[in-house]
Structure 1
Amino acid sequence: MTSTSDRLIAFLDEHSAEFLHNWRAKIVISEDDLYKEEVLQNGLRMFHLVKRAIKHPLTEEEIQALAFKTAHERVKANVNISEFVYNVNVGKSEIIKWVSRSGIEWDALQRYLDEINSLFDRFSYLAVKHYTDIRDKQLQEKELYIDQTHKERLTILGQMSSSFVHEFRNPLTSIIGFTKLLQHDHPNLPYLDIMQHELDQLNYRISQFLHVSRKEIIESKREEVVLSKLFAELIEFLYPSLLAGEVTTEVNIDEKFKITGNQDELRQVLLNLVMNSIDALQQTEGERRIWITSSIINDEITINICNNGPEIHEETINAIFEPFYTTKELGTGIGLFICKKLIEKHDGKITCQSSAEKTAFTIQLPLTTVPSVY
């Protein structure tokens, strides 16, 4: 006498071609998936696991073997894991549909349906968990590499700056000194005041450069930072780039807004975001705008750095803060990742939203001083 399990397996074998055809027609496979053919083969392997589970319960190791294999392929394919989860659920629905049509009495069929559901749920859990573990490990390795590289570059920059001081600042100091002597001896000599102002500005810029390159940026010395002043200095510093890129700017930050943090690190974040906006706007015809606004919610400041450049698509937004991800031909893919790490270091959060009208990078930080409301 044929057992119920044998009848069910025979029915599935009889309709396997139709089942697999329906599953393949409904699943989602990215065109860029390096393992698209293997996805189909994994579906067939899962079908064989189902038939074995109908005969007798599977061990964890039997399910794990296919789950781990699939997880490794999903990582290497570098596609969204949601595709995998969707395809597994499609397979489960198709299997259950065919099992329900087998003609076997419902009471006898229920235990097999429970076993199939359990198999698919366990398979999905093991595969997604292993996928997440692999990606987390990769991310940790990238973060460690970037942290080490960033610190090494800052150290080298500090050493170069020491040499830069002797090679450049000494003659600059002499020029500033002699210019002041000329002003003293010839107070009416034209253009000396302009020369003195420009030399003072150059001396100030060198001081800024040396300050940024010092070791304190690694040690993250904290102080009270006036945001409006920080943005004013930043826009002044970037004026040549804004002019060359034909970009107009509008900054609306309340002068009373203050936060506690490392000024150099915050400057590095804002500089990167504004420079990225200037680069993006070069792809825009017509008016090119950057506007910066702020608001206060629950003792937290929200800063929006917006531009009317091209839209960043959703799949890109989900990846732009990951290390080594870049859409620039000569980009390194660590700029926005470092921005994210520095903002999180200040107990804040950075996100991006984009549409055809504007792209906005939003920074949320704890506020030191809230302006009075009159």
Structure 2
Amino acid sequence: MSSVSTNTYLIGFFEKNENRILEDWWENILIDATDTQKQVIKENGYLMYQLVKRTLTDTLRDDDLKQLAHKVAKERVEANINIGDFVHNVNYGRSLIIKQTFLSGIEIEQLQAVIDKINLKFDHFIFLAVKRYTFLKEEEIEEKNYFINQSHKDKLTLLGQMSSSFVHEFRNPLTSVIGFVKLLKTDYPNLKYIDIIDHELDQLKFRITQFLHTSKNEGAQEQRKEILKVHLLLEDIIQFLYPSIVDIDVDVTSNFKTDAQVSANKNEIKQVFLNILMNSIDAITKKEKPRKITVCSFTEGDEVIINISNNGPRIPDKTMNIIFEPFYTTKELGTGIGLFVCRKIIEKHSGSISCFSNDKITTFSTRLPLLEATENGATP
């Protein structure tokens, strides 16, 4: 039997068993319960069956195969169904066609050539469909990411505008009040409650500074760096927070690498560790005693690592990946910008910040480039 006669005979055999082939395929393929395009799947199966028959007569154009593959890929993306089910269904259809080919009775020496031709078209169809599906999915993800990023940018722009207004309304009178309080401390060093007032004003100034760091224009004005001894900076912050530490009876322990130093903007880096320590104090406020906070610094390679730990409640795993995102907060009156600003500052200083939390301890770990003492003879 010639190849033309073989193909004609095989097509006739397929058409004779068409209903049984299609019913078998439909009854055994994988269809997700949530798939909104079940009927379309059946129609596409029939279209692929027709293309297989055209393959045998060499009348199938690559564009026709590509058109169907792209149609299916688009529908699978729109249905939001895993592409694995599609691949399984196509291969099950392939196995039915191959099975019928074996049952057709065509001569053995011509069987392999026919099977190879069928397999080649099925492989090409799957390749085209999966490639298109992947492209559409990546495009969809990029659009979603763009929307999320744009939404964040819009919020940050609005927050920057709010910050500017906030600064003009509060910064000048706040500066005046802070100045007069310091004069009072000088003239009346034993004046009752003056240290508390001074401390609370510094806290207010710190909160305002958090908003300022969301404004690019304001941040651009604070680029001056200096050489900082890390342990002196951390000791200064702990001393600054001493009233809050005493107020809730927190046991603060420290262990510092005294020769570690960095090149950084002092006000910005101080804001980072001040914010983390204040968060640690907030986290253990409602905890039963003992309440513990540990602050340590050490060097590792060309980095200095600062770990601030507390024995407060565990941060849930689902929260861990978003605590550094803007506007996320677990505090009733929180703004959700504190840790976002911390990350922004540390990354600007070529460092990184991360968090680890379990039932016993929560640690915020900050890494900054280590400045060797021999690089510069001066220290702050």
TM bracket, shorter-chain basis: 0.5 to 0.7
1:254 equivalenced with 2:262 (yes/no): no
1:32 equivalent in structure 2: none
In 1, distance between residues paired with 2:47 and 2:246? Answer: 65
- Whether the aligned pair in 1 keeps the contact of 2:327 and 2:336 (CA below 8 Å) is yes
2:6 equivalent in structure 1: none
- Whether the aligned pair in 2 keeps the contact of 1:281 and 1:307 (CA below 8 Å) is yes
1:71 equivalent in structure 2: 77
Q: 1:43 to 1:161 in 2, by over 3 A?
A: same
2:370 equivalent in structure 1: 367
AA matched with 2:223: K
Query: What does 1:106-145 align with in structure 2 at a 5 Å threshold?
Result: 106-145=112-151
Deviation (angstroms), 1:112: 2.6
- Whether the aligned pair in 1 keeps the contact of 2:324 and 2:343 (CA below 8 Å) is yes
1:160 equivalent in structure 2: 166
The partner residue of 1:37 within 30, 35, 38 is 35
Deviation (angstroms), 1:52: 5.1
Alignment partner of 2:82: what SS? helix
In 2, distance between residues paired with 1:123 and 1:340? Answer: 42
In 2, distance between residues paired with 1:241 and 1:5? Answer: 87
Q: 1:151 to 1:117 in 2, by over 3 A?
A: same
1:18 equivalent in structure 2: 27
Q: Structure 1, residues 202-231: CA drift from partner, whole Å, max 9, x if none? A: 554455456553753255615245544555
AA matched with 2:52: I
- Whether the aligned pair in 2 keeps the contact of 1:5 and 1:54 (CA below 8 Å) is no
The partner residue of 2:11 within 3, 11, 15 is 3
Query: What does 1:1-374 align with in structure 2 at a 5 Å threshold?
Result: 1-3=9-11, 6=14, 12-20=21-29, 23-24=30-31, 36-38=34-36, 44=42, 47-48=45-46, 50-51=48-49, 53-55=51-53, 56=60, 57=62, 58-72=64-78, 74=80, 84-91=82-89, 94-95=92-93, 98-99=96-97, 101-102=99-100, 104=102, 105-171=111-177, 173-178=179-184, 180-182=186-188, 191-192=190-191, 195-202=193-200, 204-205=202-203, 208=206, 213=212, 215-218=217-220, 221-224=223-226, 226-229=229-232, 231-232=234-235, 252=255, 254-262=257-265, 266=269, 296-302=299-305, 309-310=313-314, 312-313=316-317, 343-350=346-353, 363-369=366-372
Q: Structure 1, residues 37-78: CA drift from partner, whole Å, max 9, x if none? A: 33756755664564355344445444334423443554xxxx
Alignment partner of 2:35: what SS? helix
Deviation (angstroms), 1:249: 5.9
Q: 1:14 to 1:120 in 2, by over 3 A?
A: same
In 2, distance between residues paired with 1:48 and 1:91? Answer: 12
Q: 1:319 to 1:207 in 2, by over 3 A?
A: closer
- Whether the aligned pair in 2 keeps the contact of 1:9 and 1:51 (CA below 8 Å) is no
- Whether the aligned pair in 2 keeps the contact of 1:88 and 1:124 (CA below 8 Å) is no
Deviation (angstroms), 1:310: 3.8
Deviation (angstroms), 1:15: 1.1
In 2, distance between residues paired with 1:5 and 1:269? Answer: 76
In 1, distance between residues paired with 2:239 and 2:289? Answer: 23
Structure 1: stretches of 5+ with no match in the other structure:
30-35, 75-82, 184-190
Q: 1:173 to 1:300 in 2, by over 3 A?
A: closer
2:5 equivalent in structure 1: none
Alignment partner of 2:316: what SS? coil
- Whether the aligned pair in 1 keeps the contact of 2:26 and 2:42 (CA below 8 Å) is no
Scaled by the length of structure 2, the TM-score of the pair is: 0.63
Q: Structure 1, residues 327-366: CA drift from partner, whole Å, max 9, x if none? A: 8899887776666555544444555666666666555543
- Whether the aligned pair in 2 keeps the contact of 1:217 and 1:264 (CA below 8 Å) is no
Structure 2: stretches of 5+ with no match in the other structure:
1-8, 54-59, 103-110, 375-380
Q: 1:203 to 1:341 in 2, by over 3 A?
A: closer
AA matched with 2:370: L
> Which stretch has the larger CA shift, 113-122 or 254-263?
254-263
Count of paired positions: 344
Q: CA RMSD in A?
A: 5.0
In 2, distance between residues paired with 1:332 and 1:266? Answer: 20
- Whether the aligned pair in 1 keeps the contact of 2:298 and 2:305 (CA below 8 Å) is yes
Q: Structure 1, residues 273-299: CA drift from partner, whole Å, max 9, x if none? A: 667767777998887766566564442
- Whether the aligned pair in 2 keeps the contact of 1:305 and 1:360 (CA below 8 Å) is yes
AA matched with 1:142: I
Alignment partner of 1:54: what SS? helix
Q: Structure 1, residues 139-197: CA drift from partner, whole Å, max 9, x if none? A: 234334433532543453344334324434435544543454345xxxxxxx43x6454
> Which stretch has the larger CA shift, 255-264 or 267-276?
267-276
In 1, distance between residues paired with 2:45 and 2:346? Answer: 48
AA matched with 1:312: P
Q: 1:262 to 1:19 in 2, by over 3 A?
A: farther
Q: 1:304 to 1:181 in 2, by over 3 A?
A: closer
Q: 1:121 to 1:169 in 2, by over 3 A?
A: same
Q: Structure 1, residues 216-270: CA drift from partner, whole Å, max 9, x if none? A: 3255615245544555566666778878888766555534434445555556665
Deviation (angstroms), 1:13: 0.7
In 2, distance between residues paired with 1:151 and 1:174? Answer: 34
